[in-house]
Amino acid sequence: MKLIIASNNAHKVTEIKAILGDYYEQILSLRDAGIEIDVEEDADTFEGNALKKASEIFDAVDADAVLSDDSGLEVDALGGAPGVYSARYAGEGHDDAANNAKILENMKDVADEKRSCRFVSAVALVRKDKQPIVLRGTVEGMLLRAPQGENGFGYDPLFFYEPFNKSFAELTADEKNAVSHRKNALEALRAVLEQEK
């Protein structure tokens, strides 16, 4: 059985292989599979984007299954923003630093105890002759007032994870992968696959 992951992120592929490796003999990134498809993620939910990406790629490839995820940051004081716009919060073509600067500016007057936020990951598994599986994983945190740490990417330097008393950008890759929103979503997916056995 062949699973194609709708990503070229090596860290993401490694994480998925670790959790789902015993369900598929072959797990390939888009690059590994020689696939170049750019799916426009224009849904208004993480689940909608993940399912759209997995479905479009599944229709274009020869594989038993395609797994996609869409993830981002939800800040309660901003009504759940940036949400599905996390990667382009500061506008198209802007980088992590610009996104982080914008969120800090928008949150500058918000009290420490009202800075709750979460990382969200929705995963979608599209398979031959079966209904798609779409699940969500989250991890709760607080938004810092300044970046902390050099690891990770995106909003990791601003995401304070209380159980470790560190930002996500201060965690090792192993520490982050053990508690991340993506891991929680993939573990939920694994539990569904276990039930199907």
Give tens-digit pLDDT for 6-54: 988 877 888 888 888 888 889 999 998 888 888 888 999 999 999 999 9
Over range 163-171, report the average pLDDT.
96
Rounded CA separation 34/57 (Å): 12
Q: Are 134 and 124 in contact (CB under 8 A)?
A: yes
Residue 124 has φ and ψ, to the nearest 5°, of -130, 125
Active site residues per annotation: 70
pLDDT band at 79 (very low <50, low <70, confident <90, very high): very high
How far is the C-alpha of 108 from the C-alpha of 17, rounded, in Å?
Answer: 40
Q: What is the rounded CA–CA span in Å between residue 54 and residue 186? A: 15
Average pLDDT over residues 79-91: 94
197 has pLDDT over 80: no
Rounded distance, CA 165 to CA 191, Å?
Answer: 29
Dihedral sign, Cα of residue 52, residue 154, residue 100, residue 166: positive
Contact by Cβ (8 Å): 141, 118: yes
pLDDT value of residue 48: 97
Can you tell me the distance from the alpha carbon of 161 to that of 91, in angstroms, rounded to the nearest whole number? Answer: 27
Render pLDDT for 137-156 as a digit per residue (tens, 0 to 9): 999 999 999 999 998 889 99
What pLDDT, on the 0 to 100 scale, is given for residue 119?
Answer: 98
Given pLDDT bands bounded at 50, 70 and 90, which one contains residue 66? very high
For 131, residues 6+ apart whose C-beta sits below 8 A from its C-beta are: none
The dihedrals phi and psi of 70, each to the nearest 5 degrees, come to -130, 135
Compute the distance between CA of residue 85 and CA of residue 91 in angstroms, rounded to an integer.
9
Domains of the chain: 2-196 (3.90.950.10)
User: 58 Cβ partners below 8 Å, 6+ apart?
Assistant: 65, 66, 126, 127
Question: What DSSP line would sit under 74-99, residue for residue?
Answer: EEGGGTT-BGGGGGGTT-TT--HHHH
Residue 165 region by backbone torsions, left for phi larger than 0, else alpha for psi between -120 and 50, else beta: left
Range 109-123 average pLDDT: 97
pLDDT of residue 156: 95
